[in-house]
Amino acid sequence: MIGHKRRLGRFFDTEKNITMILPMDHGVSEGLISGLDEMGRFISGLSQTPVRAVVLHKGMAMEYSSHLSFNQNLVVHLSAGTKHGIPSYNKSLVCSVQEALRLGADAVSVHINIGNDLEDRMLADLGMVIDEAHQLGLPVLAMIYARGGQIINELDPALVAHCIRLGAEMGADMIKVPFSGEGKVFARAVGNCPVPVVIAGGPRQNDFENFCVMIKKAIDSGARGVSIGRNIFQHPKPFEALDKLWKFMSG
């Protein structure tokens, strides 16, 4: 088996064949937001949860990856951009695949936004990362969103389906997109995608019960898991929220 495919298999629950990924890379784009204050202690507390992987930028990976349990994977996020940038949807590579591997990464991730005047450069970055990561045996999580001057509604089912297809065409090993809420088009896109698709959580939702119902609908439509940050680490009881979400996903 090719190395990056073997590593990717470790991300999925052996019984349910789904995954729960916790991105904690928001400090670059958002600054010191609530929920990311004591990252070492928080990551240590994940050992008894269903979380299969944590996404960190290289600086936090250097400091806190040792807090992950043995069966949890480290994803080093290679791209960055802040909410203050012009334009705010710009994402640039800030870490190499080689550096991520040196830090102990089990996978790398790249964020790209399509439908804007920087799309060509972000696509080129993704293509380069996929080539380099596969040469080193690392899987690539592609986080793909439709954002920018040409986009009116980033949750348009056709746009979300395009993001899924784009990730597959580029050679990503796992694709993260928002859930459009429309199951039929989403299911067709996922059903014709040769690699797993996971769902983004987006901004924190006030009604966690409804949020879990939305995630369950995405799973029923073919999603293989979630990559959710703010709706977990900003929850008043994040570890209980993880257990509750997992029950919805795997039930």
Cα angle for residues 206, 143, 15 (degrees, 5° grid): 80
Residue 21 · residue 227 · CB < 8 Å: yes
- Low-confidence residues in the chain, pLDDT < 70: 1
Report pLDDT digits (tens) over 68-113: 999 999 999 999 999 999 999 999 999 999 999 999 999 999 999 9
In sequence order, the β-bridge partners of residue 79 are 93
Residue 22 and residue 245: Cα distance in Å, rounded? 12
Residue 104 · residue 66 · CB < 8 Å: no
221: CATH: 3.20.20.70
The pLDDT of residue 75 is 98
Active site positions, annotated: 25, 145, 176
Residue 147 · residue 113 · CB < 8 Å: yes
Q: The domain containing residue 69 runs over which residues?
A: 3-250
Residue 194 and residue 156: Cα distance in Å, rounded? 22
The pair of structure tokens assigned to 76 is: 């080093």
Burial class (CB in 10 A: 0-12, 13-18, 19+), 232: buried
At 87, which amino acid appears? P
Nearest alpha carbon to residue 143 among 116, 178, 96? 178
pTM of the model: 0.96
The pLDDT of residue 1 is 57
Answer left, alpha or beta for residue 120, where phi above 0 means left and psi between -120 and 50 means alpha.
Answer: alpha
Residue 92 · residue 79 · CB < 8 Å: yes
Residue 241 and residue 250: Cα distance in Å, rounded? 14
3-state secondary structure 208-240: HHHHHHHHHHHHHCCCCEEECCHHHHCCCCHHH
Number of domains in the chain: 1
